[in-house]
Structure 1
Amino acid sequence: MKPAGHPDIPAPKVGVLLINLGTPDAAEPKAVKRYLKEFLSDRRVVELPPLLWQPILRGVVLTTRPAKSAHAYRQVWTEQGSPLAAITRAQAEALAPRLAGQGVVVDHAMRYGHPAIADRIAAMKAAGCERILLAPLYPQYSGATTATANDAAFAALAKMRWQPAIRTLPPYHDAPAYIDALADSIRAQVAALPFEADTLVASFHGMPQRTLDLGDPYHCHCRKTARLLGEALGRELTVTFQSRFGKAKWLEPATDVVLGELGRTGRRVAIFAPGFSADCVETLEELAIRGRESFVEAGGKDFAYVSCLNATDGGMKMIEFLVVQELAGWLRAS
């Protein structure tokens, strides 16, 4: 018999926590406002002094932006919730059976919103995960994405008496498995289009120019991904950066500006987003809907959005390969 007061301790397990950016709980202004408040209050996302930024955030931004963003979310919302939430959940569900034979527990979390990183780490620890791989699904590293996801996990660990051992998935912007999976997916989707695309646009999420000046490697990672992907496809890629916000100078060239130019010159465009592991409002609404509108309004005709890897077989093989690579030694120990 076990002594009273000593609960059963689960058998030691290894855990993998897939992490993505986050999403509002509903495509409604109130839910979007809660999400934006958390997201835009992150010091890694907006690197302005809080005394300067918070009045702007709580005034103009959170007064005007939630309704506009809610409209964008409504354009792409699904029965399972936002595309990002649904796809990230599907990725975790698809990865779990691939690793189940090695005793690995797979879960997912969002940096902002639900399910929260702290909650899922606590649940995994309660389930016996004494070793956890944090896997932020950002191919290109940035302080505003990968680092802040890890920050949230470490903050949760700081409150735990019995911490699990932790590893973090490094950026995989130049990993052959990632480049090959992207190239295979893009090649197949472009070949299936009803027109022959003469211009391939790789649109990455934008960042303020200041982040590059301060030493963030994101811009360099994006450029390397585009170079390697272009070599794999045997095509020259047009690289752009989307989602500008505010009046500061952002990485260029801007996706909307380039799409306008391509529309005016009669190019046939296929656009994709190699920096996103899952389709979301930035790809399905900003690129596939508003991007097309910018292109057509400028006089363009042939335009197609090429989807992300999502939970496709090729995408999941890539994630499985990267995860197993980072679990080296742990699987034997478990």
Structure 2
Amino acid sequence: MRVVSGIQPTGGLHLGNLLGAILRWVRMQDEAECLFFLADLHALTIDVAPAELRSNVREMAAALIASGIDPKKSILFQQSAIPAHPELAWILQCTARVGWLNRMTQFKDKTGKSREGASVGLYTYPVLQAADVLLYRATHVPVGEDQKQHIELARDIAIKFNTDYEVDLFVPPEPFVGGGTAARVMSLRDGTSKMSKSDPSDMSRINLTDSDDTISQKIRKAKTDPEPLPEHHAGLEGRPEAKNLVGIYGAVTGETVEQVLARFAGQGFGAFKPALADALVALLHPLRSSLEELRNDPAELDRHLAEGSERAAELGAPTLAEAYRAIGLPR
């Protein structure tokens, strides 16, 4: 089993990123051969300042390593350091069909009424995603509900290419269900909206760089309702803020929602919030300390990324060479 997954290097990492993706990656390392990459080419689909992009790559690398991604156990690399990614993406763009891309709902969601002004890269990036995966003959890809379409597209592209050129080159990837459940973390100010760095209110999220006191303050002021916590999960329906805080507690401590409620049932948020704040501080304090150390040694971060990129390049080179041969071009 070989797992490939990428994350865009954006600033302002928060608890939603950690519980929703990064800690699941950490657990995956013990279940499969893993390649994790910083998707800086994908970051170009929206306007970003060059200096900010360079800084974000290092910041994301530091956050991943601080969270538990082990560069010795997994291959951690920078997407743009591997020219094979965009090379293969062009070949696969000539395999993919316009109708397939037209069905991608994320493009419609991201562009809204300004579709004509969107970059071509934003339209075709699912093909680059397919290349990211197919280049390494990955068997599995961890995805959320909003990315399942893209796995299906990668499978369609792999099968069509293999059929068109009568080769057995690309592996149609499967969704990866390992690594435990990824938490869906919502805003601390609105339990119906995902936690996001784009929210104008900093009180809506727990940043990975927040101090212990700031974390406690944000949890204390998090939106709730006046009702006590119920005995069972069903009692959280219709109470999005309560459901969110209970879910965060469970994700941080490794408990199920039912286990959390068994302990706090009948209690109000005056008792629950301090316990949640303590659990978050216990998780994030050592992570933040490690992150600060890594930030102070950019040369070490660059070394980890260079070594990972070299390993990834060696792994992907034979696949790209075979793709060129299959289509009748020299390599």
**What TM-score does the superposition give when structure 2 sets the normalisation length?**
0.30
Of Structure 1 and Structure 2, the greater strand share is in 1
Of Structure 1 and Structure 2, the greater helix share is in 2
Tell me which of the two structures has the higher relative contact order, counting C-alpha pairs closer than 8 angstroms and 6 or more residues apart.
Answer: 2
**What TM-score does the superposition give when structure 1 sets the normalisation length?**
0.30
